Chains A and B, each alone.
Chain A
Amino acid sequence: MSHSQLTEGIVPGRLDPERYCTNFADVAPPLGAQEARIAADRCYFCHDAPCMEACPTSIDVPLFIRQISTGTPEAAARTIFEQNILGGMCARVCPTETLCEGACVRMDSEGEPVEIGALQRFATDTLMAKQDHPFTRAPRTGKSVAVVGAGPAGLAAAHRLAMLGHEVTLYDAHDKPGGLNEYGIASYKAPGGFAQAEVAWLVQIGGITAVENWQLDRKGDGDLADLLADHDAVFLGMGLSGVNALHLEGEDKDGIRPATDFIAELRQASDLASLPIGRDVVVIGGGMTAVDAAVQSKLLGALNVSLVYRRSRGEMPASLHEQEHALTHGVTIIENAAPIAIHGNGAVREVEFAYTRKGPDGLEMTDATFRLPADQVFKAIGQTLGDTPAKVEVAGGKIKVDGVGRTSVERVWAGGDCTHAGEDLTVTAVAQGRDAAQDIHHVLMEG
């Protein structure tokens, strides 16, 4: 194939074959033992540590770092996994700059936090490399729980329930477990098939039966009533399977698709050189998905990539760190602009935007407009809940839960992105899955 970055249209193989390897390599390579020791030495072992508070799963950060510094990284990993069984993935994907590292007291003293994420990865990698699962199951309770969705929320719930002695059936619509760990996270954040390796390691606990290609409410699979009939409790961790539309004429033109679809395809591609990508790519949105779609378009060889967000950069859901990541990869960020029209004949050729400003009733369009050439457009303006069992109460488009994940239906819990408590973060999904599991256990055992 003789395509280059200049070739018009959506084509594969824009780059030299080797470039794909380097472009999609580990974005934050692991610390070596020496680097880890030096990084660990910087921790002050704070009292009631702010980093621990800032972690949605409340990992005891000072303790695990001290364990690394005394030469016991496996004990450190255990400290992490006790709170967060997906501590390995979280070490790779958490926006630590807004979580633990953002709260590190060294930010106050010198503006450079202890490298908590990297240290967490060092510890968890060390233990996971042994393929030795650190936990054992409590005596069997004879109770069984259905977990719907094998994303971070479902996996965390399943692991905790199995550990507490329950039998878990883990249903997922996809043919691979992991949820967005497998189909969503940017590939350079967790390369090397880490998502699958992590699930394989996690289910070593035992007591978890995985059922793939099983979709709730799909004919032939089953519905909530069936699950409740077969199990003592149900946990819903289905994430968000729908996407928001632009509501513009021409949205169905060729070359326009949800960013999440593009990313899922990319994540599953066995040969990135064969993945087609546009020359002029426009990404609409301002979150992590938008940034990942934009950066990965660039890495696939797109010539021009613009990320257009309707509000200011300061208001973007993607952290400053993520934004900088995009900028250093050559993505152009255009703020305060919203799409108003899609031009093209059959396939998209241009997207027209209007600059926005803040009005008394929120955002309003100005008369100032501009057009961006586009042969490919990715929509990343938010995801929505897919089909939900009718009886489960929904609020603001998400499943309504209380503080421990109970839904409006008896014996049904939910957690992660599909609930209104979700924050579109892996780590929050893990925390909610784990906490719901604890509550399920409590209810099943004590009535």
Chain B
Amino acid sequence: MADLRSEFIGIKSPNPFWLASAPPTDKEYNVRRAFEAGWGGVVWKTLGSEGPPVVNVNGPRYGAIYGADRRLLGLNNIELITDRPLEVNLREIKSVKRDYPDRALIVSLMVPCDEDSWKAILARVEETEADGVELNFGCPHGMAERGMGSAVGQVPEYIEMVTRWVKQHSRMPCIVKLTPNISDIRGPARAAKAGGADAVSLINTINSITSVDLDDFAPEPTIDGKGTHGGYCGPAVKPIALNMVAEIARDRDTAGLPISGIGGVTTWRDAAEFMTLGAGNVQVCTAAMTYGFKVVQEMISGLSEYMDRKGFTNTSELVGRAVPNVTDWQYLNLNYVTKAEIVQEDCIKCGRCFAACEDTSHQAIAMSEDRVFTVKDEECVACNLCVEVCPVECIEMKQMAKGSVDPRTGETVGDYANWTTHPNNPSATAAE
């Protein structure tokens, strides 16, 4: 079994799987059980300032969307930060950390946007001997309206300012958690770095309405006939999170800034994908909320098996491995020509590739009387739609050899050439 020990901004944990700041980490009882189940670390549910805690709604706070067999694909919530008193949380954090010195324990914070508030809470957190803090600049609902959470996270200047205060008033490692509710994630990441953040974590949840009650005509979850946008997370957000992680990893200004990857991590494979795109570790919320703490066991066994297969001995060998292969569209090789090919022995003749290609793509699949489906190379643009809709994965993309002629275009497959030099590009830098 590969060694999964992980070190993230100097914080050690037995594996790179942390629980994200959320209900699973809202109290000692949960966190102890999470550690017993094998989680490498936790980010404690976000703490607010001293004083009366926030209150949550007393009706439903989650909405969801589902795939086949009611598999939960996306979850949305209108929950706020912890609604338990600060002292209780701090006492519990201290007690847990004392008993689990080998696990990472990070404290998530969200206090009003003034230096004194931050200074005050940091001193209290330090006493717990937690391993670090995460600044919650992400929550899209409830707290934003009070000038916190994503209200800060959407303004790079604020991020930089608050991060700087935190680094000034504390010796603890500082992770800045970013909101995805912004058009370009690189701005907030650069600001966090400029403020002295040791790392960024992302994504927090995405503004969303998951569904509408068609009898009451109100968004769900519905509270007394009304609903509000909530934060979206779970498997459905992974593609968005992956892109944002990659954007930061390959940005000249932020390259090398440690990243804790969050958003839809459900299996070892998701975790590995985040790590190859530059995440040093991952955080998980929805998967644990859907299936319980035990899911980490599959993540641990799956990642070790994969690392063994690849001959990696340390998770750091995985981190960022795919980053050099993330590029901009204009650098993609236009002379990479493939054709779909249906493996007839495996085909179950459902005809979904035919419907997809015939109705919505390039009419490149032929269907015979007896339901044999074949690709017409002279029509196939290699879009991959048939591959995606095939329920049994019997369609492959076959690359055409250099020098062969693409029957669709009549052109010979040549060497690497991209859009920047393409004759159709008005601003092509002709290689004359």
Q: Hey, which bits of chain A sit against chain B, CB under 8 A?
A: 37-38, 41-42, 44-50, 105-106, 108-109
Contact A105 B68 (CB under 8 A): no
Name the distance in Å between A259's Cβ and chain B's nearest Cβ: 39
Q: How far is the CA of A224 from the CA of B371 in the complex (A)?
A: 46
Contact B68 A109 (CB under 8 A): no
Contact B354 A47 (CB under 8 A): yes
Contact A50 B349 (CB under 8 A): yes
Contact A105 B348 (CB under 8 A): yes
**Contact partner, A41, options B69, B349, B352, Cβ 8 Å:** B69
Q: Is B355 in contact with chain A by the CB < 8 A criterion?
A: yes
Name the distance in Å between B354's Cβ and chain A's nearest Cβ: 5
**Contact partner, A45, options B70, B349, B352, Cβ 8 Å:** B352
Chain B residues within 8 Å of A47, by CB: 350-352, 354-355, 367
Contact A109 B69 (CB under 8 A): no
Contact A44 B69 (CB under 8 A): no
Name the distance in Å between B345's Cβ and chain A's nearest Cβ: 10
Contact B349 A105 (CB under 8 A): yes
Q: Is B324 in contact with chain A by the CB < 8 A criterion?
A: no
Contact B348 A106 (CB under 8 A): yes
Name the distance in Å between A338's Cβ and chain B's nearest Cβ: 38
Contact B69 A46 (CB under 8 A): no
Chain A residues within 8 Å of B351, by CB: 46-49
Q: Which chain B residues numbered 200 to 242 have a C-beta less than 8 Å away from chain A?
A: none
Chain B residues within 8 Å of A42, by CB: 68
Contact A44 B68 (CB under 8 A): no
Residue of A nearest to B359 (CB): A47
Q: How far is the CA of A41 from the CA of B68 in the complex (A)?
A: 5
Q: Which chain B residues numbered 42 to 81 have a C-beta less than 8 Å away from chain A?
A: 68-70
Residue of B nearest to A108 (CB): B348
Chain B residues within 8 Å of A50, by CB: 349, 371
Q: Hey, which bits of chain B sit against chain A, CB under 8 A?
A: 68-70, 348-352, 354-355, 367, 371, 391-392
Chain A residues within 8 Å of B367, by CB: 47-48
Name the distance in Å between B133's Cβ and chain A's nearest Cβ: 44
Residue of A nearest to B355 (CB): A47
Contact A109 B348 (CB under 8 A): yes
Q: 17 extra interchain contacts, Cβ-Cβ under 8 A, other than A48-B351, A105-B349? A: A37-B69, A37-B70, A41-B68, A42-B68, A44-B350, A44-B352, A44-B391, A46-B351, A47-B367, A48-B367, A48-B371, A49-B351, A50-B349, A105-B348, A105-B350, A109-B391, A109-B392
Name the distance in Å between A405's Cβ and chain B's nearest Cβ: 27
Q: Would you list the 3 A-B pairs with minimal beta carbon distance, nearest first?
A: A47-B351, A47-B355, A41-B68
Q: How far is the CA of A44 from the CA of B68 in the complex (A)?
A: 11
**Contact partner, A46, options B68, B70, B350, Cβ 8 Å:** B350
Chain B residues within 8 Å of A105, by CB: 348-350
Chain A residues within 8 Å of B352, by CB: 44-47
Q: How far is the CA of A45 from the CA of B351 in the complex (A)?
A: 9
Name the distance in Å between B73's Cβ and chain A's nearest Cβ: 13
Residue of A nearest to B69 (CB): A41
Name the distance in Å between A132's Cβ and chain B's nearest Cβ: 20
Residue of B nearest to A34 (CB): B70
Q: How far is the CA of A389 from the CA of B84 in the complex (A)?
A: 89
Residue of A nearest to B67 (CB): A41
Chain A residues within 8 Å of B371, by CB: 48, 50
Q: How far is the CA of A347 from the CA of B351 in the complex (A)?
A: 60
**Contact partner, A38, options B69, B349, B354, Cβ 8 Å:** B69
Chain B residues within 8 Å of A37, by CB: 69-70
11 A/B residue pairs, CB under 8 Å, sorted by A:
A37-B69, A38-B69, A41-B68, A44-B350, A46-B350, A46-B351, A47-B354, A47-B367, A49-B351, A50-B349, A105-B348
Name the distance in Å between A36's Cβ and chain B's nearest Cβ: 12
Chain A residues within 8 Å of B348, by CB: 105-106, 108-109
Q: How far is the CA of A221 from the CA of B272 in the complex (A)?
A: 82
Q: How far is the CA of A50 from the CA of B352 in the complex (A)?
A: 12
Name the distance in Å between A262's Cβ and chain B's nearest Cβ: 43
Name the distance in Å between B304's Cβ and chain A's nearest Cβ: 30
Q: How far is the CA of A108 from the CA of B351 in the complex (A)?
A: 13
Name the distance in Å between A243's Cβ and chain B's nearest Cβ: 39
